[in-house]
Every structure is written in C-alpha cells, then in structure tokens.
C-alpha cells in the first residue's frame, strides 16, 4: 500500500491538511500525521492528534512515498523558519525527504514532495525549491519569492526559483516542477482547495487519469486539471 506522511504544526489550515488526505485515502494510500506536539490546534480551532513525533518520522522517513506540507497564514510560518525557529525540525524533515530518491524502481516508486498553499514557504526555507518553478496562494507569492531568493543568496551554486503566476497567463492551481536531482518530484499548489487538485494530479501520475477522475467524482469535486 502506498503511504503519505503529512507534516502539521500549530495553526495549520484544516482543509490544506484534510483535502489531500481525502483524495489519497480514496485512492488506496495510508496516511500518517507527524507533528511537533501530541495535539495540534489548527487555524480553525480543530484539534488533531499526531501519529508520530518528528523524531519518529525522521527515523521512518524512507517508508513514505509522499510527503505533504500544508499551509496556514503567513504570520504562523515566516517568523519561525530561521535557524533557531520552532519549525526548524520540519525543515530538516523536508530537506531529508527531498534527498531520498525513488522508493523502488518503476513508475510507482517515485517519491513526491507536495506543498499546499503557504506550505511552499517551508519548502523554500528548506532549500528544496531552488532551481524549480513553484506557486502558492495568490496573496502569498511575494514572500515565497523572497524566501527562495534568500536561500539562493546564501547558498553558492544554487539556482533561482521561478514563482508563478507572476508573469504567466491564466490561473495556476498547482505546479508540477518535475524531478529534482535525487529524482523526487516536487509539486506546489496554490490556494486552499488547490491542494485537492494537486492531489488528484498525483493520483493521475501513479494510477492514470481515469483513476483520478473516478476519485474526484466519488468526492463530488470538480477537478481543475492542469
């Protein structure tokens, strides 16, 4: 059974978290929540109990096919991604997952690192967006570019990140940036429900478009495919 690890933290957005979980559950994934604390209160005042601590998740990271990083309001992330910020443990997990490489040979062995909304801030701060094209909530694009540029500025040899939809045409629901050097696929999604669109894209990659369409229909969701 394919498996997904979801990283949560205080004030995380509930739908950012549960939207992709719902899609992956319907497509046969097992899902595991890892968090800083045993109980996490979301932005909407919902309490989620973790399955794993961050240290346990780090020890078991190679078990997972997909790592999902949901978002929240920028003020719950930006002050806490510095070298001594309390989200540093999440950045270490993200960076480690991005270097794992394929889980096994073949098309379904590909690992996917996937952010929802401002979860892309955490990917940027961890340095995994360098040299990629990425997106986030339309109101959060400026800080995302700044985080990416700050990483590039302090990391010799790293490449600049192109943040869209700035300078592009039309609405960008999610961006599949392809495989990084370790052959981990990087996907970033836009605003809150775009995490569902991106999760359906992930299902399509693994199981084919008919499977993704079937999951969307079962959920009563109009998939915004790109």
CATH of the domain at 108: 3.40.50.880
Q: Please report whether residue 163 resides in a domain.
A: yes
Low-confidence ranges of the chain (pLDDT < 70): 166-170
pLDDT digits (tens, 9 = 90+) for 158-187: 999 999 985 555 678 999 999 999 999 999
Is 100 among the domain residues?
Answer: yes
Q: In the chain, which residue ranges form alpha helices assigned H by DSSP?
A: 14-26, 54-59, 88-97, 119-126, 141-154, 194-207, 209-219
Rounded-to-integer distance, Cα 217 and Cα 200, Å: 11
* In a domain? residue 226: no
pLDDT at 83: 72
Angle, to 10 degrees, between the axis of helix 119-126 and the axis of helix 88-97? 70
Q: What's the domain range around 134?
A: 3-219
User: How many residues in total does the chain contain?
Assistant: 226
Distance from chain centroid for Cα 116: 5
Total number of domains in the chain: 1
Does some domain include residue 224? no
Statement: the pTM of the whole predicted model exceeds 0.85: yes
Q: Confirm whether 132 is domain-assigned.
A: yes
CB atoms within 10 A of CB 181: 9
């Amino acid at each position: 059974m394919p498996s997904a690890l979801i990283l949560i933290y205080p004030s995380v957005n509930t739908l950012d978290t549960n939207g992709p979980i719902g899609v992956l559950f319907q497509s046969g994934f097992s899902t595991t929540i890892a968090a800083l604390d045993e109980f996490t209160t979301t932005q909407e005042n919902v309490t989620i109990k973790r399955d794993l601590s961050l240290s346990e998740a780090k020890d078991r990271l190679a078990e997972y096919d997909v790592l999902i990083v949901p978002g929240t309001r920028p003020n719950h992330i930006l002050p806490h991604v510095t070298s001594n910020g309390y989200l540093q443990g999440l950045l270490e997990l993200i960076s480690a997952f991005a270097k794992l490489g394929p889980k096994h040979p073949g098309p379904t062995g590909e690992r996917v690192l996937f952010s929802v909304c401002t979860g892309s801030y955490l990917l940027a701060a961890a340095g995994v967006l360098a040299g990629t094209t990425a997106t986030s909530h339309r109101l959060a694009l400026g800080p995302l570019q700044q985080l990416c540029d700050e990483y590039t500025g302090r990391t010799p040899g790293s490449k600049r990140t192109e943040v869209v939809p700035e300078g592009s045409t039309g609405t960008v629901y999610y961006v599949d940036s392809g495989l990084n050097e370790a052959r981990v696929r990087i996907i970033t999604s836009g605003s809150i429900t775009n995490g569902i669109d991106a999760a359906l894209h992930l299902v399509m990659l693994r199981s084919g478009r008919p499977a993704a369409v079937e999951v969307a229909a079962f959920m009563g969701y109009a998939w915004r495919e790109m």
